[in-house]
Structure 1
Amino acid sequence: MSLRFDITPGSPQPIYEQIEGQIRRWIATGTLKEGDQLPSVRALAEQLTVNPNTVARAYSELTAEGLVASHAGRGVFIAARRQIYSEEERLRRLSCAMKRFFDETAFLDIPLAEILRRLEEAGTDYFTHSPKP
């Protein structure tokens, strides 16, 4: 499977986080499944024209979260899905994500009803349609 990453070098979000986010989305939507192999650090770094340490950091973060597993000499693979966070931690992370979202959108002066409508629409699209890798 050839994955097409969409990386924005000038973005305030670090490139390793952009890589992580796309892999997380592909896992969440089922585009990447348990056992699927990710590109090697070197191959992905060359594809994206980034430092290999950037890709290694993204893979390391995903490994720490239990989303991928590294097998020496074989590569990095999507791990079996399991919940590693407690309910309390999941809700804490949700609150943090919501705060970041509202911090980013508060200045737009869009009514809450419109934001909620668009969130529901985007969520439906996000969780029912797999993005193309």
Structure 2
Amino acid sequence: MVQVDFRSRVPIYEQLVEKYKELIIKGVLVEDEKLPSVRALSKELGVNPNTIQKAYRELERQEYIYSIKGKGSYVMGRQDRKNNEEKNKIKNELKKVMTQAMYSGITFDEIKSIIDEVMNERGI
């Protein structure tokens, strides 16, 4: 299912990450589907198991897969990934705005007051 180009300048683990992301995004690999074990994929592709493990770790970091110790790696649900991606995007935007606010002289108490105001408006 997955192939790597040994002549490419792109590292093998990056090729694997991109191929698996593509398969997951296109729906070829579905939620909770088990991925091949590190050893099995390593043997199939003729690649060092550490390379496969590195690719799986990166996919997990990017929240495309999750691992269960002793069981293997599985495809993460789209909704979970979408929510996490959205949360990370919002967190990054908040950090930028907070930095701008600090440079503009807005104090922590003023920021806290704004947060309280928004929470009260939303009934939280």
TM range (shorter): 0.5 to 0.7
Equivalent in 37, 40, 60 of residue 40 of structure 1: 37
Q: Which runs of 5+ in 2 are unaligned?
A: 93-124
Greater RCO (Cα-Cα under 8 Å, separation 6 or more):
1
Which amino acid in structure 2 is aligned with residue 47 of structure 1?
A: E
Name the SS of the counterpart of 2:27 in structure 1: coil
Aligned counterparts, 1:37-116, within 5 A: 37-81=34-78, 82-83=81-82, 84=85, 85-86=88-89
Q: Which has the larger radius of gyration?
A: 2
2:20 paired residue among 23, 48, 63:
23
Identical columns (%): 37
Q: CA RMSD in A?
A: 1.5
Question: Cα offset for 1:57?
Answer: 0.3
Is the partner of 1:77 in helix, strand or coil?
A: strand
Q: SS of 1:18's equivalent?
A: helix
TM score, norm. by length of structure 2:
0.65
Runs of 4+ in 1 over 3 A off after TM superposition: none
| 1:87 positional shift | 6.4
State how far apart, in whole Å, the 2-side matches of 1:87 and 1:54 are.
32
User: Deviation of residue 80 (structure 1)?
Assistant: 1.4
Distance in 1 of aligned mates of 2:74 and 2:61: 13
Distance across 1 between alignment mates of 2:91 and 2:67: 28
> What is the aligned residue count?
86
More helix, by proportion: 2
